[in-house]
Every structure is written in structure tokens, then in C-alpha cells.
Amino acid sequence: MRTASALCLLSCVSATATPAQEKKQSVEIGTSVGVTIVTQSGETVTAVGIPVAQGAIPILSTGTIYMTIFATRSVMIEPQATLTVISGGGASIRVFGVAAQTGYLFTPLERHSAYVAANVGLQHFGGDAGSATGVGLGGAIGYRVRAGAGFAVRFEGRFRHWVADFDGVNEIGFGIGLGGII
């Protein structure tokens, strides 16, 4: 009887431990496909990409990569980066961008969760004709779906308003993020 009770207790403990371990998250690394629309003074520029570029001058940027660090089950911290160098004919253009996003997952223990996030970005453009640097502040709303233990898909809409050298630029983006969970 003691053996049967011990086996029953052990199976109950392992049954409750397995889902908790399955839902543990650590780091997600990925990129997005989608569209970025930049407007300023009635002018609009649209960039569509695989991966999608972000920032005040997305047509000169390559796609952004992200790394999501789960500080808690609900809070995610996400550094993002992009780098483009174009040269030819004795001229060159460099675009460098970094951003950080902090988000909150509403149902982190589920395989899918809506989230909200605040973000800040810095983009620098430099070339033979001069340089410009700006800071963008904004937010995002999205929906994250974990597909298996090692893959996540996100659907995200974001807005960022840029200041400094990119004063008055508004960035609107829609993307599908594809990330691996490690």
C-alpha cells in the first residue's frame, strides 16, 4: 500500500511539474516580415521587407533583429538592432539603429498571449553628404503564439514619433515576428 501511495504521489507531482517546466521561457531571438510606413509633413514613404526595416529612414535600413529576454513570466525586455553600410563609386552611406522595447504579456502561461509594449529607438544616418541622428518614442500592441517548445510567432503593430534631426517623423509598422526560443 505504501508503494502504491508513493507512486500515486510521485505521478501527481510529476504531472504538475511537467506543465510548469514546459511553460518556462528564457530568450527568444528573431526578426520580422512586414511593412513600415514613415510620414512627415504630408509625405509618406513605405518600406516592405523580409525582414522588415524600422526607424525614421527605413528605406536605407536592413531588417531589424530582436532578442526578447523574459524578466518574469509577464515582462519581456527586448533589445533590437539594425546596421546597413552601402558603398560604391567612392561614396558610402551608413545607417545604424538600436531600440529597446519593454512589454507585458497578459496571459504568459498560455501558448498565446496579447501584449502591450513601450519602446525607444535611436537611429543614425551618416554619409558623404552629412549625418543625422534621431530618437523615437512609441508603443506597440501585439499577439504572441508559441508553436512548440522552440518557436514563436508574433503579430505586432507599432507607432513611434521621432525627434532631434528626424523631428516630426512618425513611424507606423505592422509585422509578423518569427523567433526561436532558446
Q: Would you kindly state where each structural domain of the chain is located, as residue ranges? A: 22-181
- pTM, two decimal places: 0.79
Q: What is the pLDDT of residues 144-165, one digit of tens each?
A: 999 888 999 999 999 999 999 9
Residue 58: what pLDDT?
74
pLDDT of residue 143: 98
CATH code that applies to domain 22-181: 2.40.160.20
Between CA 80 and CA 72 the distance in angstroms is 19
Q: State pLDDT tens for residues 23-66.
A: 555 799 999 899 999 999 999 999 888 877 778 877 666 678 89
The set of cell numbers assigned to 1 is 500500500
For residues 2-8, give the mean pLDDT. Answer: 39
